[in-house]
Amino acid sequence: MCSALAQTEDDRISATGSGFFVTPDGYFITNDHVIRGAATVRIVQNGNKINAKIIRTDPANDLAVLKAEGEFVFVRLGASRNVRLGQNVFTIGFPNPQIQGVAPKLTTGVISATTGIRDDPRLLQISIPVQPGNSGGPVIDENGDAVGVVSASLSALGLLRMSGSLPQNVNYAVKSSYVTALLEDVLPAETSRESASAAHNQAEIMAAAEKAVALVLSYAAPSRKSAVATDKEDRPPLSEAPPEVAANPHLGTWKLNEAKSTLVPGKNTTVVYGEQGDKIKVTVNGVDKDGKPTHGVWVGKWDGKAYPTKGNLSWTSAAYTVVNDRTNDMTAMKDGKIVWSGRITVSADGKSRTVTVNGTDAKGKKFSGKSVYDKE
């Protein structure tokens, strides 16, 4: 364990993260999930521990404003609305401090998208490599302005289960506009937010940013001692670098809404998606065109390959292909021949699921239909 975390009192550290000063008089930004539930918060900079007060939190956007006493080098907040695709950015933070040490670590990347998971407008997608402990660090552009706050990563395990592939540097940051809005109700009117840095080139910008960042230590109450958990406690909805975005919107139990559906002969009245190891299990119950009960179970990966279906459904195997995090294409086959194909889409609010299908029946007649399901 590194020296800054090796003191006896630090046995109570419940989480660590990163953060940065945004004013010269000690207003400081980090993630809400880094300090959530903490009895005490300290900021560590150049080996010095500074007590910090929690001024305001915004759990919905995973932001927190802290205040430390003193004078500090700080980072100016930029306008995230001006961020462009492919723009160079970097962060400086404190990943895995108990292993990698407490010296600040710099990583670089680009703006991969101006929206986040499921096109969330609050977030930027960044290719900057981040790890546990980077949460709360600034995303800084070529001008030295903070345009975001590192907040989440796409879950490698979650995507592997969904698609059979691993994400490569798919990380997210809360846009600086949400930080600015939070500070408007916090900072005294006379507080200056003009950058103290006179940096002109990239090396100077990075050196100035290094002076503005700090390690965040969250302490549990004495009766709640716990091992150091690098920003993994009380993860918000967005959850491994910082919290991973791991939720699969397809999972759960779906009931057919016949009033909203245009059905083909036969129908699946209930569909249940669940996880089984590194695979997805789909359980289907319904009736066939003659009104007789049907039941089927499919277990496989959403990797475009056909996996067998057990039961008495009209198909014997199926293949799922991931289109995006809310949409899959599905092909149903009987004895290797395609029976129908379709698209499955979960709504943005996760409350409904629409299946559109096209196929050819046993008599060679083409059919199409739409089934709408409500989540239980």
* Closest of 6, 247, 239 to residue 135, by C-alpha: 239
Residue 350 contacts by C-beta under 8 Å, 6 or more apart in sequence?
A: 249, 375
Which of the listed CATH numbers 2.30.42.10, 2.40.128.20, 3.30.420.40, 2.40.50.220 matches domain 252-375?
2.40.128.20
Q: Which residues in the chain are classed under CATH 2.40.10.120?
A: 3-245
CATH code: domain 3-245 is: 2.40.10.120
User: What pLDDT score was predicted for residue 239?
Assistant: 34
* Residue 28 CA from chain centroid, whole number: 23
* Closest of 168, 185, 177 to residue 148, by C-alpha: 177
At which residue do the structure tokens 């319904």 appear? 286
User: What pLDDT score was predicted for residue 226?
Assistant: 43
Instruction: Please tell me the distance from the alpha carbon of residue 209 to that of residue 77, in angstroms, as a whole number.
Output: 12
> Strand, coil or helix: what is 2?
coil
Q: How many helices (H) and strands (E) does the chain have?
A: 5, 23
Provide the pairing of β-strand 244-245 with 146-154: parallel
Beta-carbon count within 10 A of 103 CB: 11
Beta-carbon count within 10 A of 258 CB: 12
Give the CA distances from residue 284 to residues 270, 304, 321, in Å, rounded to whole numbers and listed in that order: 6, 20, 18
Q: Which residues in the chain are classed under CATH 2.40.128.20?
A: 252-375
Q: Are 30 and 44 in contact (CB under 8 A)?
A: no
How does pLDDT run across 328-349, given as a tens digit for each residue?
A: 999 988 888 888 888 999 988 8
Per-residue pLDDT of the chain (376 residues; tens, 9 = 90+): 233 454 434 557 888 999 999 999 999 999 999 999 899 999 999 889 999 999 999 988 899 999 999 999 999 999 999 999 999 999 999 998 888 989 999 999 999 999 988 788 899 999 999 988 999 999 999 999 999 999 988 765 555 566 666 656 789 999 999 999 899 877 765 544 545 455 568 889 999 999 999 999 999 876 544 444 444 433 333 333 445 444 578 888 999 998 998 876 678 889 999 877 778 899 999 888 888 899 999 999 988 899 999 999 888 999 998 888 788 999 988 888 888 888 999 988 888 999 988 876 666 677 788 899 998 8
User: What pLDDT score was predicted for residue 247?
Assistant: 57
Give the CA distances from residue 199 to residues 26, 128, 264, 320, 375, in Å, rounded to whole numbers and listed in that order: 21, 22, 66, 51, 53
User: What pLDDT score was predicted for residue 164?
Assistant: 64
Residue 85 contacts by C-beta under 8 Å, 6 or more apart in sequence?
A: 111, 112, 113, 114
Give the CA distances from residue 275 to residues 141, 278, 301, 349, in Å, rounded to whole numbers and listed in that order: 40, 7, 10, 21
